[in-house]
Structure 1
Amino acid sequence: MSNFGQINPPPRLLMGPGPINADPRVLRAMSAQLIGQYDPAMTSYMNETMALYREVFCTANQWTLLIDGTSRAGIEALLFSALCPGDKVLIPVFGRFGLLLSEIAQRAGAEVHTIEVPWGEVFKPEQIEEALQRVRPKVLAVVQGDTSTTMLQPLEELGALCRKYDALFYTDVTASIGGNFLKTDEWGLDAVSAGLQKCLAGPSGSSPITVSDRYVEVVRRRRHVEAGLVTSAHQAGIEPAIRSNYFDIPMILDYWGEERLNHHTEATSMLYCARECARLLVDEGMDNAIARHQLHGDAMLAGVQGLNLRPFGDLKHKMNNVVGVYIPEAVQGDAVRSSLLNDFGIEIGTSFGPLHGKIWRIGTMGYNARKDAVLTTLAALEQVLRLAGHQCDASGGVAAAMAVYKAAAEA
């Protein structure tokens, strides 16, 4: 007999930068019965999932599908499949997740070039164009929304620049998709990867991707050569084999395509989950979902300012779905987070690198982008801050958020 009881997690309101509480409808979808991977019903669900995510990504790309694994699996699949050893990749870094792209590209054997701005800022198009002209990379890899800094990098002008300098344009939208505008085709994106655990209102474990015909043409040129000849083959102009079997995009495309060539056993429950995440967004309407995230993000921003907290970074480029706030000097940041969690069951985030211990990150995303979650978080945060000696007006945070909601209702 086992000494362990059933899994029974404590109730939490996850108001950090992700993961968040999954929508109950997503959890119900995950509990559906399993079927075989070649069952006609399964093939139908896969096709429906592809169609739904075309709407989420705002694309007509045929190849819009799922990578089984967390959002990092999608990143690795797209970068490892596109980059041969020695290829140049340009990565603008404005937070922790730009550094992650750099590490993954290095592991793919690429020659990595980075440009940087201070955390809390984003790049101007001319900064990226100068680097494209100087480096002439095969791939420009950019994070759209970096939760470590809460900043949203504008992408609208970068696709044309990539065409001008003959570079593939890849972006990771895990933290931003569903809560901020993303126009895959209109902006000239060649490859995009995401995750479910933020504005898509699901758990981590599946990575939706979309790729252009241009990207597919590049990755299908990869040839199998003997491992010892990879470097010389590259120098001779022969594309070496994709190093990973699991993350081999051409093989994955064949698996999702009409031939359904065996590559792996699809993670059925996660496919149900990802399909439901997309269905809910599409039914809501992508513009409506983004407006919802903006409304509750604006209310949270006003609320923390009403608590006499100072927001972090360039607010003109803040993501709709997460806000960074400086930790008051007289307050112990970890103690506040611990009290929120243990006394109120609410989780907010700390940060990384140069911002560790300096800011909190508070999210309003997915299922938690709603009025009661915002007001409950602000009310609890006020109590904890006041007990910690922070000076703020009674109900100042809730009142400021309510003013945003009132103005939106009257607009």
Structure 2
Amino acid sequence: MKAYKDLAPSPRTIMTPGPVEVDPRVLRAMSYPILGQFDPEFTALMNETMSMLRLLFKTENEWAFPVDGTSRSGIEAVLVGIIEPGDKVLVPIYGRFGHLLTEIAGRCGAEVVKLETEWGTVFTEEEIVSAIREHQPKLVALVHGETSTGRIQPLAGIGQACRETNALFVVDAVATIGGIEVATDQLLIDAVIGGTQKCLSVPAGMAPITYNKRAEAKLQSRKRIERGLLLADGDDDPLLRPIQSNYLDLSQLQDYWSPARLNHHTEATSMLYALREGLRLVLEEGLDERFARHREHEGALIAGLEAMGLRLYGDPSCKMTVVTCIEIPAGVDGESVRSMLLDHYGIEIASSFGPLKGKIWRIGTMGYSCSKRNVLLTLGALEAVLLRHGHSLEAGKALQAAMDVYGM
């Protein structure tokens, strides 16, 4: 029988747009003893997690809880729960993950209307509002922070236009929650999906979501159909459209997180410990202070990259604080640079997708990975690796520029 070695992953400095390094206090929380999912001590932790999520999402919504699974599970649970076959869904697309929302909505049987713009840019408020008024969708699904291009879509005015046309407004905030403000109630967002593995610095495995009474009303109408209406033999009423998924049935997940404690699934105990601790650390730091920290380290990173003579990709007016995209210099093998950074420095940066594959690098400054140490280490290593690849630059200038930002 083959003998397997002890698990010993190599230490890494992860500077990608996710996953990122996990706070050691979160890893410690995951090692705590397991409690039964209906143990009063555990359900109290569930309630605390919901309370902290409301603060994170800046909402008074009753419902704010995690869906077990990676971020996509939260996106699917929300969209599968509130999209009925035949519903018109508007998806403004400015990167890869807008196409993902389109695919999921299409699988729900929606009539999808795509609004597209050039990658590296975002939409104006007027463009989206005009499309809402023209197409009169039942739902608008929009990515807040598009990690494939490093752009952030302003959300002001979109929620109001949705209210005026009786559309639901759903936002994918997977890449922004915990690093950039997501003012759910102020922006009139009906449902928001977050992620754990990015700015929250918790392992992938849960998707925090929140939704309001407007979204719940749509959900409950389908819940009553599924559990309270049975068709006669041979009857086929297209208006009766139950939620197709059991595991991602948001109405049942809601009952699980309610005082009723519906026995829908076995909760991912250690992941809940991790999320609760991650949220505690976010709130302990303070949301405003946390957002400011991300801006500071972004500034230092940009200063260093520009001092190397590298060009940033995309429209700077809509750049994400937590993701910086760099054009790969002509004549430089981008994958070779990434491999050397990983193999010799233990630093991981990302490439991109689709039309940007092989054209840009993406560096994330998210959560626990967003630190002075990591920024300076990454700049120094990238400078050295670029020199080894024959790229001309003034050695030492990048670190000095970043240190100036830090006031060192």
Q: TM-score, normalised by structure 2?
A: 0.96
CA distance in 1, matches of 2:352, 2:374: 21
CA distance in 1, matches of 2:117, 2:377: 35
Aligned to 1:142, the other structure's residue is in SS state: strand
Q: Give the equivalent residue in structure 1 for 2:375.
A: 374
Q: Give the equivalent residue in structure 2 for 1:8.
A: 8
CA distance in 1, matches of 2:279, 2:403: 30
Contact 1:94 1:120 in 2 (8 A): yes
Q: Give the equivalent residue in structure 2 for 1:281.
A: 282
Q: Once superposed, which parts of structure 1, at least 4 consecutive aligned residues long, lie more than 2 Å away?
A: 224-234
Partner AA of 1:5 in structure 2: K
Q: Give the equivalent residue in structure 2 for 1:361.
A: 362
Partner AA of 1:58 in structure 2: K
Q: Deviations 1:105-143 (Å, cap 9, x if unpaired)?
A: 111111111101100001111111121112111110000
Aligned to 1:188, the other structure's residue is in SS state: coil
Aligned to 1:233, the other structure's residue is in SS state: coil
Q: Give the equivalent residue in structure 1 for 2:137.
A: 137
Report the alpha carbon displacement of residue 232 of structure 1 after superposing the two structures with TM: 5.5
Q: Describe how 1:10-409 pairs up with structure 2 within 5 A.
A: 10-222=10-222, 223-224=225-226, 233-234=237-238, 238-406=239-407
Contact 1:125 1:158 in 2 (8 A): yes
Partner AA of 1:153 in structure 2: Q
Report the alpha carbon displacement of residue 93 of structure 1 after superposing the two structures with TM: 0.2
5+ unaligned residues in a row in structure 2: which ranges?
none
CA distance in 2, matches of 1:230, 1:268: 44
Aligned to 1:41, the other structure's residue is in SS state: helix
Q: Deviations 1:354-403 (Å, cap 9, x if unpaired)?
A: 10000000011110111010000000000000111111111121111111
Identity of aligned residues (%): 49
CA distance in 1, matches of 2:244, 2:163: 27
The worse-fitting range, judged by mean Cα deviation, of 92-101 and 218-227 is 218-227
Aligned to 1:221, the other structure's residue is in SS state: helix
CA distance in 2, matches of 1:392, 1:230: 74
Report the alpha carbon displacement of residue 249 of structure 1 after superposing the two structures with TM: 0.8
Q: TM-score, normalised by structure 1?
A: 0.96
Contact 1:61 1:211 in 2 (8 A): yes
Distance 1:165 1:393, change over 3 A: same
CA RMSD in angstroms comes to: 1.6
CA distance in 2, matches of 1:93, 1:126: 15
Aligned to 1:126, the other structure's residue is in SS state: helix
Report the alpha carbon displacement of residue 233 of structure 1 after superposing the two structures with TM: 3.0
The worse-fitting range, judged by mean Cα deviation, of 239-248 and 331-340 is 239-248
Aligned to 1:324, the other structure's residue is in SS state: strand
Distance 1:231 1:59, change over 3 A: farther
Partner AA of 2:341 in structure 1: L
CA distance in 2, matches of 1:98, 1:390: 35
Partner AA of 1:76 in structure 2: E
Contact 1:85 1:231 in 2 (8 A): no
Q: Deviations 1:83-120 (Å, cap 9, x if unpaired)?
A: 01111100000000000000111111111111011000
Partner AA of 1:203 in structure 2: P
Aligned to 2:403, the other structure's residue is in SS state: helix
Q: Deviations 1:245-297 (Å, cap 9, x if unpaired)?
A: 11111111111001111111100011111111111101111111111111111
CA distance in 2, matches of 1:17, 1:184: 23
Report the alpha carbon displacement of residue 227 of structure 1 after superposing the two structures with TM: 9.7
Partner AA of 2:141 in structure 1: A
Partner AA of 1:233 in structure 2: D
Q: Deviations 1:133-159 (Å, cap 9, x if unpaired)?
A: 121111100000010000000012211
Partner AA of 2:381 in structure 1: A
Report the alpha carbon displacement of residue 230 of structure 1 after superposing the two structures with TM: 12
Distance 1:230 1:29, change over 3 A: farther
Partner AA of 2:256 in structure 1: Y
Aligned to 2:237, the other structure's residue is in SS state: helix
CA distance in 2, matches of 1:96, 1:58: 27
Aligned to 1:380, the other structure's residue is in SS state: helix
Contact 2:195 2:208 in 1 (8 A): yes
